Amino acid sequence: MESKRIEDNVRTYSRPSDLRITDVRAAALQLTPTGWMCPLIRIDTNQGIYGIGEVRDGASKNYALMLKRLLIGENPCNVDKLFRKIKQFGGHARQGGGVCAVEMALMDLAGKAYGVPCYMLAGGKFRDKVRMYCDTPNEPTGEAMGKKLQGRIDKGFTFLKMDVGIEMLADIPGALCAPAGMLDTRTVMHPFTHIRLTDKGIRILVEYVAQVRSVIGYEIPLAVDHFGHIGVEDCLRLGEALEPFNLAWLEDMVPWQLTEQWRLLRTHLKTPVCTGEDIYLHDHFKPLFEAQAISVCHPDLATAGGILETKKIGDLAQEYGISMAIHMAGSPVSTIAAVHSAAATENFIALEHHFTDLPYWDDFVTGIPKPIIQDGYIPVPEGPGLGIDLNEEAIRAHLTPGDPAGYFEPSTYWDADRSWDRLWS
């Protein structure tokens, strides 16, 4: 006799109301042979489904595991409630990595529980595919960089970025003026290094960019990053000298916290200026937006707060007439999380890809078409949650040697940790 209960005739992923978190574990992924660390997080439940997320490159997996005591027994579908519960334990730059990884995993779980992709939980999508822009580290000459970028164009990329900065001038006599020792440190904030570009140094950098443009032409957008720790005055001098090359944006010329210096850059330069990869939560973008200090906001989903918070940043930027690109230097897990956020954000322009030359980058996940990047775009996954699963064999082959997390080993150390965390009396 056929059941009269509708739910008995429907194959569901779970019973969302009864879903509970039972464990949080990590896999210590070493993305590249040189040690680029991107720990993965898995949140397990009482119904056998799990969610995956990723801690930002270079951040400790413990930033996520320390949140375990706040998550066990909770319903992962209450994404906003749990984000508000844990967000005080994140911070700018890598310190936000744990909260963001957990948010990605919660969104993955909620999507699986309800049988919908993450972008749907973020309000639906504005696009079916997400434009990627490829970052390209230093090459010894502008001609060599141009040829490297032309290779990216030949692969279908329609947006490019390269490094141009004082590192390439360090060994050239007369190109830089700096106090002793300042060129050897990256821990001193830009205004306090007193490193100065000479006219010769600026001419060399200008010639480098000119050589690049002579190879790739002017039709493809080309952004520039990694200028080095120079003061805002020299940023203005260099930015003015680079204006003939119609660059897409000048990225992170000074630290993001220095709102007034960003306002000076945007006011005096004719090239768009861009920052945001180290900013945690939308509240901290607001001073830049209110001051009209940047042309492009550039959150990193693995720093900013995750999928929903990154969309919130884009929506807030749109109110001030500012577009959003997304910084990304991670595995396919965080990249696909960013794809969902980008798909759901109207003023989005392009998502960064840092590993164009890493041949096994695609191998870490399954469930989506390969190659993951197709003619410079990633199709938005339509499967539930992130729409991907992990390739255990590929991840095990690239685990950090000696790390006790291994491939999602038990994390019982964090089970009994207790703390009084309330921020008010």
Q: What SS3 class is residue 413?
A: helix
Instruction: Report the relative pairing of strands 50-54 and 40-45 from DSSP bridges.
Output: antiparallel
- Predicted local distance difference test score (pLDDT) of residue 421: 85
- Predicted local distance difference test score (pLDDT) of residue 425: 82
Helices (H) and strands (E) in the chain, counts: 14, 16
Are residues 45 and 22 in contact, defined by beta-carbon separation less than 8 angstroms?
yes
What whole-number distance in Å separates Cα of residue 101 and Cα of residue 110? 14
- CA neighbours within 13 Å on the CB side: how many for 29? 30
Superfamily covering domain 121-386? Enolase-like C-terminal domain (3.20.20.120)
- Predicted local distance difference test score (pLDDT) of residue 154: 97
Residue spans of the domains in the chain: they are: 12-115+391-414, 121-386
Tokens of 208: 């480098």
- Predicted local distance difference test score (pLDDT) of residue 9: 53
What whole-number distance in Å separates Cα of residue 374 and Cα of residue 216? 21
Instruction: List, in sequence order, every beta strand (DSSP E) within 322-392.
Output: 323-326, 348-353, 365-366, 377-379, 389-390
- Predicted local distance difference test score (pLDDT) of residue 5: 58
Residues counted in the chain: 425
What whole-number distance in Å separates Cα of residue 369 and Cα of residue 349? 23
Beta bridge partners of 45: 21
Per-residue pLDDT tens digits of the chain, which is 425 residues long = 455 555 555 455 568 999 999 999 999 999 999 889 999 999 999 999 999 999 999 999 999 999 999 999 999 999 999 999 999 999 999 999 999 999 999 999 999 999 999 999 999 999 999 999 999 988 999 999 999 999 999 999 999 999 999 999 999 999 999 999 999 888 999 999 999 999 999 999 999 999 999 999 999 999 999 999 999 999 999 999 999 999 999 999 999 999 999 999 999 999 999 999 999 999 999 999 999 999 999 999 999 999 999 999 999 999 999 999 999 999 999 999 999 999 999 999 999 999 999 999 999 999 999 999 999 999 999 999 999 999 999 999 999 999 999 999 999 989 877 788 888 88
Which pTM was predicted? 0.95
Gyration radius of the chain over CA positions:
22
CATH of 12-115+391-414, one of 3.40.50.720, 3.60.21.10, 3.30.390.10, 3.90.110.10: 3.30.390.10
